[in-house]
Amino acid sequence: MNERIKIAIQKSGRLTDHSITLLQKCGLVISHTKDQLIGYGENMPFDIMFVRDDDIPGLIQENLCEIGLVGANVAIEKKLSYEANQSSCEFALQTPLDFGHCKLSFAYPESSSIRSIKDLDGKMIATSYPFTVRNYFSENNINANVTEFSGAVELAPSLGKADAICDLVSTGNTLRAHNLELGETIMESVATVVKSNAKQSQFKNKWIDKIIERINGVLQVNESKYIMMHAPKDAINDITRLLPGTESPTVIPLDGIQETVAVHVVCKETVFWETLEDLKEVGASSILVVPVEKMLM
């Protein structure tokens, strides 16, 4: 069987290292040198395409790649652009990942009178996300104009090309450096698994499902902890209530002790010191929290 599945990831940018790490945590051994556009999955039938992030949705749309890891901002913009051109979108956004967090927000020059979207009627807005912004304007009955900027959007007002901007914001430092005030957010974005809707062979489907299942497992493991403690038998309900995201605990008798048992649970959410103190309050002792290496649900 020579079939290989292609996964598109960003070649060089904010998502690159996180994407490679995620695939490696899924067990994929990638052989790749810096200049190569394609990495070879040595132990699984996957090839990794290293491309510009903006090209990822298009590669999946054309079924040249079956999976991509890309910002939801980019995937949604492409989806809206296909829909605006009356062509169907051939991919779906799947699992949101735990990196690439940012928001797509308006920003207004401090010197202008624009303070909110209510002041945008008749104004010109510069953005790299014209379809997303136009879509937002039409949903909110705002009669503003959109001009597309492919980079350095924050310069548009001072160049006299726009009255306001709509751009990705993470720390807000770029806006402050250009005397722009943060306005309303129209989208919270995060890197996301994007999957082709095209019909695939049984072999490819099996491996696509497998890698997505492993990605979900990696995401769960990042937060999950295995917790062991001793506790009075009648405190088990309280313990389960205090530990969010747990399944039924494993309860083990202790040799020679009647009233106390050992309780083991997998907790799928962050465990804070306060939670451990609350466990102690309901009678738990010898509480041990250890990281989880792998998880398959």
Binding site for ligand PRT (CB under 6 A): 10, 13-15, 52-54, 71, 73-74, 100, 102, 167-174, 189
CA 144 vs. chain centroid, Å, equals: 30
Out of Zn ion, ligand PRT, none, what residue 170 binds, judged by CB under 5 to 8 A for its kind, is ligand PRT
77 makes contact with Zn ion (CB under 5 A): no
Out of ligand PRT, Zn ion, none, what residue 67 binds, judged by CB under 5 to 8 A for its kind, is none
Question: Looking at beta carbons only, is 69 or 239 nearer to ligand PRT?
Answer: 69
Q: Are 100 and 13 in contact (CB under 8 A)?
A: no
Out of Zn ion, ligand PRT, none, what residue 102 binds, judged by CB under 5 to 8 A for its kind, is ligand PRT
- Tell me the C-alpha distance between 116 and 169, whole Å: 17
Take residue 18 and report the two structure tokens written for it: 């996180």
Question: Looking at beta carbons only, is 73 or 132 nearer to ligand PRT?
Answer: 73
Segment interacting with Zn ion, rule: CB under 5 A, options 14-22, 47-55, 151-159, 264-272: 47-55
CB of 175 to ligand PRT, least distance (A): 6
Out of ligand PRT, Zn ion, none, what residue 172 binds, judged by CB under 5 to 8 A for its kind, is ligand PRT
CB of 167 to Zn ion, least distance (A): 13
Take residue 223 and report the two structure tokens written for it: 């937060």
Other C-beta atoms lying within 10 Å of the C-beta of residue 26:
19
- Tell me the C-alpha distance between 150 and 173, whole Å: 20
- Tell me the C-alpha distance between 109 and 160, whole Å: 11
Of 186, 188, 190, the closest CA to residue 106 belongs to 186
Task: Report CA Rg, the chain.
Answer: 25
- Tell me the C-alpha distance between 297 and 221, whole Å: 11
Contacts (CB under 5 A) with Zn ion, residues 106-145: none
Question: Looking at beta carbons only, is 159 or 198 nearer to ligand PRT?
Answer: 159
CB of 182 to Zn ion, least distance (A): 22
Chain residues in the site for Zn ion (CB under 5 A): 53-54
